[in-house]
Amino acid sequence: MKRCPRCGREYDNTMMFCLDDGAELLYGPARSEPGAIATGFPSDEPQTAFQERDWRMSVLMKTEPMLKPLRDDPRYKDLLKRMNLPD
So where are the chain's domains? 1-28, 31-87
Max intra-chain CA distance, the chain: 42
Give the amino acid at 14.
Answer: T
pLDDT tens, residue by residue, 6-63: 888 888 888 899 998 898 888 865 555 555 444 444 445 555 666 666 667 777 777 8
Q: What's the 3-state SS for the chain?
A: CEECCCCCCEECCCCCECCCCCCECEECCCCCCCCHHHHCCHHHHHHHHHHHCCHHHHHHHHHCHHHHHHCCCHHHHHHHHHCCCCC
pLDDT at 1: 80
